[in-house]
Amino acid sequence: MKKKHKQHVNENIVSFIPTGEYYYQKALVALNREHFEKAHKYLRRAAELSPDDPLILMQYAIVEMEVEKYDHALELLQSAHSLDPNETEVVFFLAEVNAHLGFLSDARKFAKKYIELDMTGAYVEEAMEIIDFSEQEDWPLFEDDNFGSEILIIQEKARRMMEQGNFEQAIEVLENLIEENPDFWAAYNNLALAYFYIGEVDQAKALLHKVLEENTGNLHALCNLAVVHYYEKNEQELSYLLNLLVKIQPYMLEHRYKLGATFALVGKYEEAYKWLRSLQKRGYEGDPGFYFWLSHSAYFSGHENEARNYWKQLIQIDPEKEGLEPWAGQKEGDSLDGMEHNRDFIVEKLENAYRSERMFGLFLLGKTAHKQEIIAHPEWVNVETYSTMEKWLLAHALGHEFEASKLAERSFLRAVEATEVLYRKNHPLTIDGSFLFQMWFVLIERGIDKGYAFKNPKALAAAADYMFQSSRSQGVTKKALAERYEITTPTITKYVNELIQFLPLFDA
């Protein structure tokens, strides 16, 4: 009996050797249940066991496309197509994968073949979109592919000049390039940026509009124009362009990068992360700018751990960026909800007509996760126009230490120390809390101008906090504030009496 039973078991084992079809069916079940990792594993095994089954290869390719492994998906689909040239779905997915890889001629060819094979097929509408997309070769989405290497080298030279801040030289090179090559749209786009960075905004916009008039839909021009309108606070024009840009679904790596970086720069971080992450998942090894924006967009869209990993990759490429990460000076997991992380709020302060407001903005510059972005802008931080106090605050925000050899400098440093105490007690900064700091920087400005020494920073912070709160609500006591700041009530009274003279309402 035992021998017979053993033979029966062996027969079952032999008859149940899994086939490609077996794993294919298991994959379909897994896909229906949205168990994508299992489906991927089953399809890989199915393709290994049945390498001559075009439907298995096609399904495996579809799953590979879902995880953006387009090169491997193309190989699988090419194999499936060679096995069955008239399988319509294989033909359609060949069109799609070629479009993703930027092989537009092949994408168009397979999309047209799909429609010829099955005019009522399930993917006719998608095939038509691929044809429309691939035939837009006059767009910048495919701009400048027909220019020779010599022209592209000159263009790259001008781009490097811009990166080094040599905008005037870059303008001369690009204008000469355009004069000899009037249809080289990339040069127009870079020239517009160069003009923008030297403050010739109208000239920049004129160039970008010229590109869009003569090269309709130019993605780089649309993105650059959005950036210009963002910096100029042209809300209506910016909104129109962003509504247009969010509808664009680029296939090519370069255009995903441009779109992602633009979204990050204007503060649409979730859209930015979507496109930049799609490049990173495909193994894109970009320049420092790519990892900078990838890290920022990840951080501000709630992916802090990923952001820190991307920043590590940036530091490997560009060690000088150490210390400029968006979370610099913050504890891991700190909230980004405070006004110190509202870029527009800080820029509004930096551009304010009142010096005390600009001083508040410069202080927040040292706290914000947007520090590097704000500093990099050509106009938001304008050192040449700053007063001595503003320059001191900028130095503090950037972490520079300086010797306080003069009385005014020592007074200023004590005032900043008091500001830091106030900030520790009142952050993350709310809109309501920002009014406290607006009052405080008026006191600093007027106190320094009048030679006040700002001794005892902790007590000064407590006194300012009491002055602000007691002016807005009843029931605020000096005793409560004294306990909060760990000083005595008479000390608060002393410094309130000293500070109150610097309020504008006490001017003679």
pLDDT grade for 357, boundaries at 50, 70 and 90? very high
User: What is the C-alpha to C-alpha distance for residues 99 and 252, in angstroms, rounded to an integer?
Assistant: 8
pLDDT grade for 19, boundaries at 50, 70 and 90? low
* 139: pLDDT strictly greater than 90: no
User: What is the C-alpha to C-alpha distance for residues 98 and 111, in angstroms, rounded to an integer?
Assistant: 10
* 11: pLDDT strictly greater than 50: no
Give the SS3 label for residue 263: helix
- What is the chain's mean pLDDT, rounded? 84
Fold of 150-321: 1.25.40
User: In the prediction, which pLDDT does 135 show?
Assistant: 64
Q: Taking the domains of the chain in order of start, what are their residue ranges?
A: 11-136, 150-321, 342-506
User: In the prediction, which pLDDT does 447 show?
Assistant: 93
User: In the prediction, which pLDDT does 330 show?
Assistant: 64
* 183: pLDDT strictly greater than 70: yes
What is the DSSP track for 426-481?
Answer: S-SPPHHHHHHHHHHHHHHHHHHHTT-----HHHHHHHHHHHHHHHH-TT--HHHH
* 168: pLDDT strictly greater than 50: yes
* 236: pLDDT strictly greater than 70: yes
In this structure, the chain runs to a length of: 508
- CATH topology identical between 11-136 and 150-321: yes
Q: Domain spanning 11-136: which CATH class is it, in words?
A: mainly alpha
pLDDT digits (tens, 9 = 90+) for 255-296: 889 999 999 989 899 999 999 998 887 677 778 889 999 999
For residue 384, the Cα-to-chain-centroid distance in whole angstroms is: 29
pLDDT digits (tens, 9 = 90+) for 63-114: 888 777 777 888 889 999 998 998 999 999 999 888 877 677 788 889 989 9
Query: What 8-state DSSP symbol labels residue 377?
Result: S
Query: What 8-state DSSP symbol labels residue 367?
Result: T
pLDDT digits (tens, 9 = 90+) for 46-58: 777 778 888 888 8
User: In the prediction, which pLDDT does 7 show?
Assistant: 39
166 C-beta neighbours (distance < 10 Å), count: 15
Nearest to 335 by CA among 291, 286, 300, 370: 300
User: In the prediction, which pLDDT does 13 show?
Assistant: 39
92/320: higher pLDDT = 92
User: In the prediction, which pLDDT does 37 show?
Assistant: 73
320 C-beta neighbours (distance < 10 Å), count: 8
Tokens read off for 233: 């606070």
Q: For residues 77 and 55, is the Cβ–Cβ distance under 8 A?
A: no
Q: What is the pTM of this model?
A: 0.60
pLDDT digits (tens, 9 = 90+) for 441-484: 999 999 999 999 999 999 999 999 999 999 888 888 999 999 99
37/298: higher pLDDT = 298
